[in-house]
């Protein structure tokens, strides 16, 4: 069975599986031979340049197993007969940890104090604080649950929103009414047609004055122009690990907007994520080889 894997580390953890032939393709170097015989493709973290063309040439493809939670680059182009699985759970710890750190960094004004340190200035003043805040988690999946666990002990009220309402979790239809009461709004939704541009001007206008928007989902979930307008007005603050466009051009107004903290899509890029990714890849391939049900299968309901 021919498998394309993104890294030597993945090939190594699969090397002892019977009948498995791994070729490493990181999406940057030359394409390995035999694409028409690839049965399982594990794409790299950074999306390859031509996903539709690559998938179209994989005539033997049966499984696409991503190393990311997001699958928006692959789902629309999946060949008939192939199954798509994501890496749910792999990046939970890193992304949730980033979200907590980003909240604290912005509310306690760490970036501003860092600038003052470089200038050698002692800029004493009171700052905001996470304690006593209402944190609205929009997209209460495995990462949202991991975030809530990490917020335990920070003395905050957590409000949960998911695509479908359930016990203790609000549905998306209730979101407009929940926004005005939130001090922090954390976006953790998948990139789908329904979530594209969901944090638009109307969404942002419902957030209370001084509130913090935290985006660890995908850049396209937020209307960038609308967010820049709110930041320039000084009404909202933001912590962004993802942007639209991405990478963010050096002359983009987001860089210089007041009250924004930007990191280059690194929330899930941690050693913990790497270890968990390798464990998932091996376990998933063992299930595939044994004809067992696969984990994290993406369905029409996502």
Nearest to 274 by CA among 72, 68, 76, 26: 68
- Annotated active-site residue 25? The verdict is no
How many other C-beta atoms can be found within 10 angstroms of the C-beta atom of residue 30?
A: 6
Residue 301: what pLDDT? 55
- Annotated active-site residue 57? The verdict is no
Catalytic-labelled residue, pool 246, 252, 282, 287: 246
Terminal-to-terminal C-alpha distance of the chain = 28
Which phi and psi (to 5°) does residue 58 adopt? -90, 80
pTM, two decimal places: 0.91
Distance CA 257, CA 146 (A): 30
pLDDT by position in tens, the chain (length 302): 999 999 999 999 999 999 999 999 998 888 999 999 999 999 998 888 899 999 999 999 999 999 998 898 899 999 999 999 999 999 999 999 999 999 999 999 999 999 999 999 999 999 999 999 999 999 999 999 999 999 999 999 999 999 999 999 999 999 999 999 999 999 999 988 899 999 999 999 999 999 999 999 999 999 999 999 999 999 999 999 999 999 999 999 999 999 999 999 999 999 999 999 999 999 999 999 999 999 999 986 55
Catalytic-labelled residue, pool 25, 91, 160, 218: 218
Tell me 169's DSSP state.
Answer: B
Element (H, E) at 8: helix 8-14
Tell me 208's DSSP state.
Answer: P
Is 36 within 8 Å of 55 (Cβ atoms)? no
Residue 75: which residues within 8 A CB-CB, separation 6 or more?
84, 298
- Annotated active-site residue 59? The verdict is no
Is 185 within 8 Å of 176 (Cβ atoms)? no
Catalytic-labelled residue, pool 170, 237, 265, 276: 265
């Amino acid at each position: 069975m021919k498998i394309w894997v993104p890294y030597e580390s993945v090939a190594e953890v699969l090397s002892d599986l019977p009948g498995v032939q791994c070729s490493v393709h990181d999406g940057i170097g030359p394409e390995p031979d035999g694409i028409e015989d690839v049965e399982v493709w594990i794409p790299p973290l950074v999306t390859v340049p031509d996903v539709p063309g690559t998938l179209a040439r994989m005539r033997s493809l049966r499984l696409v197993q991503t190393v990311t939670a997001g699958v928006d680059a692959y789902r629309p182009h999946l060949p008939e007969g192939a199954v798509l699985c994501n890496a749910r759970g792999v990046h939970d710890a890193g992304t949730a940890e980033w979200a907590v750190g980003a909240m604290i960094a912005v509310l306690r004004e760490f970036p501003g104090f860092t600038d003052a340190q470089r200038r050698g200035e002692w800029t004493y003043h009171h700052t905001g604080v996470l304690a006593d805040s209402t944190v609205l988690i929009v997209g209460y999946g495995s990462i949202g649950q991991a975030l809530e666990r990490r917020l335990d002990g920070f003395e905050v009220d957590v409000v949960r929103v998911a695509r479908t309402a359930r016990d203790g979790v609000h549905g998306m239809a209730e979101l407009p009414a929940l926004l005005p009461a939130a001090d922090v709004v954390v976006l953790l939704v998948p990139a789908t047609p329904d979530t594209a541009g969901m944090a638009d001007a109307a969404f942002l206008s419902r957030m209370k004055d001084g509130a913090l928007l935290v985006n660890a989902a995908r850049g396209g979930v937020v209307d960038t122009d609308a967010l820049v307008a709110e930041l320039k007005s000084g009404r909202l603050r933001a912590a962004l690990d993802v942007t639209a466009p991405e990478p963010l051009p050096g002359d983009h107004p987001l860089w210089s907007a007041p009250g924004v903290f930007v990191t280059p899509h690194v929330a899930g890029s941690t050693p913990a994520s790497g270890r968990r990714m390798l464990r998932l890849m091996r376990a998933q391939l063992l299930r595939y080889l044994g004809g067992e049900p696969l984990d994290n299968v993406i369905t029409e309901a996502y």
